[in-house]
Amino acid sequence: MNYNEELARLTESVIVLQRKMEYMLRDRGLQRDLEFEKKLNDLLNSFGCPLELLLEVVVARTDISAEIRSRLADIVNLDFEVLSAPEMEAVALTSTDEPDTRPAGENALEWKEKFGHRSLESWFQ
């Protein structure tokens, strides 16, 4: 292949890419998706919880199937080993006078211990 043929092939590729770019810029669906993504990222950042942290939390949850967590980790390029959830044994619940829920402060402490991030602590108070 000589120089002129290579130049013609590259020029045609550039023209095709320019047409695709112009089409994407006119695509209203894509524009709405991009605007939504921008607004979502701004909202999450205003709460001190970037999207990457939220995805890490979802991947770390054991109540979500290992297949879904593994696919999500692959999609967002998280270097995270997904383990299957431990098998839960059936436990007989006994009724007591004490409620089983913990105070909100303890929930926030558990969150901090589990995920090491304090930005969502206020959600539990």
pLDDT of residue 65: 83
Q: What is the mean pLDDT of residues 97-106?
A: 56
Q: In 10 A of CB 82, how many CB atoms?
A: 20
pTM higher than 0.85: no
The pLDDT of residue 78: 73
pLDDT (0 to 100) of residue 75? 78
- What's the angle, vertex CA 106, arms to CA 103 and CA 110, rounded to 5? 140
- Long-range Cβ contacts of 76-82 (<8 Å, 24+ apart): 76/52, 80/56
Kindly state the average pLDDT of the residues 16-30: 92
What's phi and psi for 87, nearest 5 deg?
-70, 130
Q: Kindly tell me if the per-residue pLDDT of 95 is higher than 70.
A: no
Name the amino acid, one letter, at 125. Q
Q: Which of 13-17, 87-91, 97-101, 109-113 has the highest mean pLDDT?
A: 13-17
Q: Does the pLDDT value for residue 25 go beyond 80?
A: yes
Q: How far apart are CA 94 and CA 89, in angstroms?
A: 15
